[in-house]
Amino acid sequence: MKVNVLLPVYNGDPDIAQTLNSLLEQTYKHFKVVVINDCSTDNTIDILNDYSKKDKRIEVFSLPKNQGITVALNKGISMLDNDCEYVIRIDSGDICRNDRIEKQVEFLFHNPDYALVGTQFQMVPKEGELTEGIIRFRNYSNQLCTYEQIKDNYTVMAPYAHPTLAFRRDVLMKLGGYAPDYIATEDYEIVGRIIKQGYRVGKIPKVLVECGFTPNKGISQEKRVIQVKTSLRIKLEYIRHMFLCEGKSYEVYIWGTREFAGYLQEEIENSPHHNMVVKAFTDFQKEKWGQYKDNLPIISPKQMIKSLNFNSIILTMCNLEREEIINFLNKNQLIHNVHYFVFS
């Protein structure tokens, strides 16, 4: 079985070395590393060339200008070996446990109906401490291991850390690689697209990757807003394909009144193909009842329940109160992924 490792990198000095070392120490030896250097301006290319001279399994391709991770990933996919069966993802600064490739190859070999498999992961701060949001993501994502858990909870938050994934190459080729229109969400989108195409996905319930994280090295606020809005579009497309009735129109109640809830309303209004109309917002905070957000009323949860009809759905947009909201909806005989959908 032929394995290619797909590794895009931009300004990876000095972290790229530990990533390559972790690959070269794998118990599974029959692989090639396809490194796409996205026009780095530091010493990355020198480090890569040194490694490729020492080990012929490492092949380096450099882009003439910096074009971003999606272009780099798709360039890497185009450079995969024709006889490659499995594609392992990893990013610069991340570290694979030495049996990572062996475990994922073994899983895909014994489960031919699965298009991809991830692993549980640890987040390792390069400086400072992990943020509360990163800890929530790690803990929640690591809970989702079976196909059913991942499929049913895909919209809550990303079910994988992208560098933990292993794909079947033929599925990546059929899908046409990563979608360029999903800014900063290409990893989230491709998993949802694979599920929507009818493939099964899974996760090895063992930490096999350590993902490097720098708390103060986030994306800009402008790009963050684009990322959130794009992820909401992905979630809406996902529930429309997986759970909603084609051609049916829906009245939507958004649970949440913060900034992201407004982004969700905006995405629904700007995408008429979702066949949705937002009727109101709701929240547990009594002081907000009777107020308006974006020209729509904020009503109490009990009033919302009384207002529901056969074509109503609820979209929740709260992370911290998620379990309290789900318990409330369940007690009112509402069913997850039928009457309500959990976003974040």
**238, part of any domain:** no
Buried b (16+ CB within 10 A) or exposed e, 117-139: bbbbbbeeeeeeebeeeeebbbe
On the question of pLDDT at 344 being above 90, the answer is: no
Last residue of a domain, one of 177, 198, 217: 217
- Supply the pLDDT for residue 311: 97
Same domain, 36 and 142: yes
- Rg over alpha carbons for the chain, rounded to the nearest Å, is 22
Same domain, 65 and 203: yes
- Supply the pLDDT for residue 183: 84
Same domain, 98 and 156: yes
- Supply the pLDDT for residue 69: 96
Same domain, 54 and 182: yes
User: What is the span of the domain harbouring residue 209?
Assistant: 3-217
Same domain, 189 and 264: no
Rounded CA separation 12/15 (Å): 6
- Supply the pLDDT for residue 318: 87
Work out the end-to-end distance of the chain between its first and last CA atoms, rounded to an integer number of angstroms.
Answer: 39
Same domain, 213 and 254: no
pLDDT digits (tens, 9 = 90+) for 88-139: 999 999 999 999 999 999 999 999 999 999 999 999 998 889 999 999 999 9
**237, part of any domain:** no
pLDDT digits (tens, 9 = 90+) for 185-238: 999 999 999 999 999 999 999 999 999 987 656 567 888 899 999 999 999 999
Rounded CA separation 163/15 (Å): 15
**154, part of any domain:** yes
**308, part of any domain:** yes
Same domain, 99 and 208: yes
- Supply the pLDDT for residue 149: 99
Six token digits for residue 202: 């899974």
**213, part of any domain:** yes
Report the number of distinct structural domains present in the chain: 2
**224, part of any domain:** no
pLDDT digits (tens, 9 = 90+) for 20-58: 999 999 999 999 999 999 999 999 999 999 999 999 999
- Supply the pLDDT for residue 222: 84
Average pLDDT over residues 310-330: 95
- Supply the pLDDT for residue 217: 62
Closest CA to 255 of 303, 188, 222, 295: 303
The CA-based dihedral angle spanning residues 13, 88, 208, 21, taken in that order and rounded to the nearest 10 degrees: -40
Same domain, 207 and 265: no
| Neighbour tally for 285: CB within 10 Å | 12
**109, part of any domain:** yes
- Supply the pLDDT for residue 218: 59
Same domain, 253 and 187: no
pLDDT digits (tens, 9 = 90+) for 256-280: 999 999 999 999 998 877 799 999 9
**199, part of any domain:** yes
SS3 readout for the chain: CCEEEEEEECCCCCHHHHHHHHHHCCCCCCEEEEEEECCCCCCHHHHHHHHHHHCCCEEEEECCCCCCHHHHHHHHHHCCCCCCCEEEECCCCCEECCCHHHHHHHHHHHCCCEEEEEEEEEEEECCCCCCHHHHHHHHHHHHCCCHHHHHHCCCCCCCCCHHHCEEEHHHHHHHCCCCCCCCCCHHHHHHHHHHHCCCEEEEEEEEEEEEEECCCCCCCHHHHHHHHHHHHHHHHHHHHHHCCCCCCCEEEEEECCCHHHHHHHHHHHHCHHHCEEEEEEECCCHHHCCCEECCEEEECHHHHHHHCCCCEEEEECCCCCHHHHHHHHHHCCCCECCCEEECC
CATH code at 293?
A: 3.40.50.720
Q: How confident is the model at residue 249 (pLDDT cuts 50, 70, 90)?
A: very high
pLDDT digits (tens, 9 = 90+) for 151-174: 999 999 999 999 999 999 999 999
- Supply the pLDDT for residue 273: 77
| Contact of 317 with 254, CB cutoff 8 Å | yes
Same domain, 102 and 190: yes
The residues near 174 (Cβ < 8 Å, ≥ 6 apart) are none
- Supply the pLDDT for residue 216: 57
The residues near 296 (Cβ < 8 Å, ≥ 6 apart) are 265, 278, 279, 280, 281
Same domain, 16 and 129: yes
SS3 readout for 52-78: HHHCCCEEEEECCCCCCHHHHHHHHHH
Last residue of a domain, one of 174, 201, 217: 217
| Neighbour tally for 108: CB within 10 Å | 21
Same domain, 269 and 325: yes
CATH code at 74?
A: 3.90.550.10
